[in-house]
């Protein structure tokens, strides 16, 4: 059974254009973000809210799956931009990397080894 957050009647996806899924996936396929998709839905409906977005993600399987698929396509588009521009001196790799960190949860990996007592250890390699 679907959980309804406020007891309010769910807004019908039928108020979206017939080709809404294709339009949303196309936007994501071009590197679009959730905010851009929200703005697109707002342009169709004349109104839209974050609460409605959240309800649709939780209660409307068709909407949720479309958004999940779109997010994968968006991240893939951005990854391809980085991969395709590895040798392009004009490419702003720092801006691209910050985008990946902020939008897709990328992080600088840090490995800190600890002893079983929780103390930090340092490993020094010596050449013999």
Residue 1 lies in a domain: no
Residue 63: how many CB atoms within 10 A of its CB? 20
For residue 114, the cross-strand partners are 120
Whole-structure pTM value: 0.72
Residue 47 lies in a domain: yes
Residue 46 lies in a domain: yes
Question: Is the alpha carbon torsion for 30, 36, 37, 40 positive or negative?
Answer: negative
* Residue numbers in the chain where pLDDT is lower than 70: 1-11, 109-128
Residue 35 lies in a domain: yes
Residue 5 lies in a domain: no
Residue 7 lies in a domain: no
Domain holding 30, by residue range, is 13-104
Measured CA to CA, the distance from residue 9 to residue 7 in angstroms comes to: 6
φ, ψ of residue 49 in degrees (nearest 5): -135, 160
pLDDT digits 0-9 by tens, 42-73: 999 999 999 999 999 999 999 999 999 999 99
pLDDT, position 91: 93
Residue 113 lies in a domain: no
pLDDT, position 7: 43
Q: Structurally, how many domains does the chain consist of?
A: 1
């Amino acid at each position: 059974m679907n959980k309804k957050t406020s007891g309010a009647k769910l807004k019908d996806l039928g108020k979206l254009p017939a080709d809404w899924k294709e339009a949303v996936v196309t936007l994501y396929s071009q590197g679009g973000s959730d905010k851009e998709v929200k703005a697109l839905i707002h342009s169709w409906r004349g109104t839209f809210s974050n609460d409605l977005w959240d309800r649709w993600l939780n209660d409307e399987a068709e909407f949720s799956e479309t958004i999940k698929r779109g997010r994968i396509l968006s991240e893939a588009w951005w990854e391809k931009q980085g991969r395709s521009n590895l040798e392009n001196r004009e490419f702003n790799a720092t801006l691209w990397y910050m985008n990946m960190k902020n939008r897709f949860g990328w992080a600088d990996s840090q490995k800190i080894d600890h002893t079983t007592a929780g103390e930090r250890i340092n490993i020094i390699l010596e050449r013999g």
